[in-house]
């Protein structure tokens, strides 16, 4: 981060608190929901994470005491017993209802159908991916990338809001190359031709309005090249590529 980059305003900042890891579970989930809906806020979180990364690397990992894991295992066992008990009660209730005033044939069919329904629900619960197994179900309209140089230095943090069709860029380091200007490019997967997303302004956050960007943008990469004033004259990068980064879903 260069000295001339402006820091966020002083005072309590949920973006900084999230990056520090001092929030409880409910607060973190609220911040993550806001990140999916607010591109500039997501960029501020990324800015704080980049800023605090050196501090995080100095913190030694600490394992929780053994009794914590024992309590977790006990709670999991209790939850499993409650769930199994509720399922058994439901099956018995359906069976009793089927036995009242119904012929033996229909009674057998009713019980069998009830058991099949319960078994189907169990299969769905096992096979259906939850939020942790299906990353695309969470934050599938917001993408982020960290654009780094060949030496690993981060130059920009980028947040793409696919719903609003905007890109928010936060400079982390400066690019000093005389009269040439940085231009942002989208690199589609499969080797398709790069597409210009616009010229960048150094030293301050910038929001670009995107054209021709779709939900399939996930899996693409971004790149920054140095171009003549006014941008590339050919519609493709002509100058050196100074930074690249892959787009990932938040």
Which pLDDT score, from 0 to 100, does residue 6 have? 47
Which string of DSSP letters, residue by residue, matches 145-194?
EEEE-TTS-EEEEEEEETTTTEEEEEESS----TT-EEEEEEE-TTSPPP
Q: H or E element: which one contains 127?
A: helix 104-127
Q: For position 23, what pLDDT does the model report?
A: 81
Of residues 136 and 241, more confidently modeled: 241
pLDDT on residue 94: 58
**96 pLDDT higher than 80:** no
pTM of the full structure:
0.45
Task: Give the pLDDT confidence score for residue 58 in this predicted structure.
Answer: 57
pLDDT over threshold 60, residue 128: no
100-120: per-residue pLDDT in tens?
544 555 455 545 544 544 444
pLDDT digits (tens, 9 = 90+) for 144-197: 888 888 888 888 888 888 888 888 888 887 777 778 888 888 888 877 888 888
pLDDT single digits (tens) 52-83? 776 656 556 666 677 777 777 777 777 777 76
pLDDT of residue 124: 37
Higher model confidence: residue 210 or residue 234?
234
> How many other CB atoms are found less than 10 A from the CB of residue 175?
18
């Amino acid at each position: 981060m260069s000295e001339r980059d402006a820091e966020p305003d002083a005072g309590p900042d949920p973006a900084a608190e999230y990056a520090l890891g001092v929030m409880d579970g409910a607060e973190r989930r609220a911040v993550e929901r806001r990140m999916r809906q607010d591109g500039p806020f997501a960029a501020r979180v990324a800015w704080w994470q980049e800023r605090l990364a050196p501090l995080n690397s100095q913190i030694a990992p600490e394992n929780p005491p053994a009794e914590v894991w024992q309590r977790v295992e006990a709670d999991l066992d209790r939850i499993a017993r409650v769930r199994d008990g509720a399922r058994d009660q439901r099956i018995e209730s359906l069976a009793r209802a089927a036995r009242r005033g119904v012929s033996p044939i229909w009674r057998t069919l009713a019980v069998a159908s009830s058991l099949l329904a319960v078994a189907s629900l169990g299969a769905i619960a096992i096979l259906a991916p939850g939020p942790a197994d299906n990353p695309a179900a969470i934050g599938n309209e917001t993408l982020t990338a960290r654009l780094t140089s060949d030496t690993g230095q981060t130059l920009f943090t980028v947040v793409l809001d696919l719903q609003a069709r905007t890109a928010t860029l936060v400079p982390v380091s400066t690019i000093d190359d005389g009269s040439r200007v940085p231009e942002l490019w989208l690199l589609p997967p499969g080797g398709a031709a790069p597409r210009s997303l616009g010229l960048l302004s150094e030293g301050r956050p910038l929001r670009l309005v995107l054209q021709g960007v779709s939900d399939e943008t996930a899996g693409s990469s971004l790149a920054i090249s140095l171009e003549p004033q006014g941008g590339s004259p050919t519609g493709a990068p002509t100058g050196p590529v100074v930074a690249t980064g892959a787009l990932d879903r938040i």
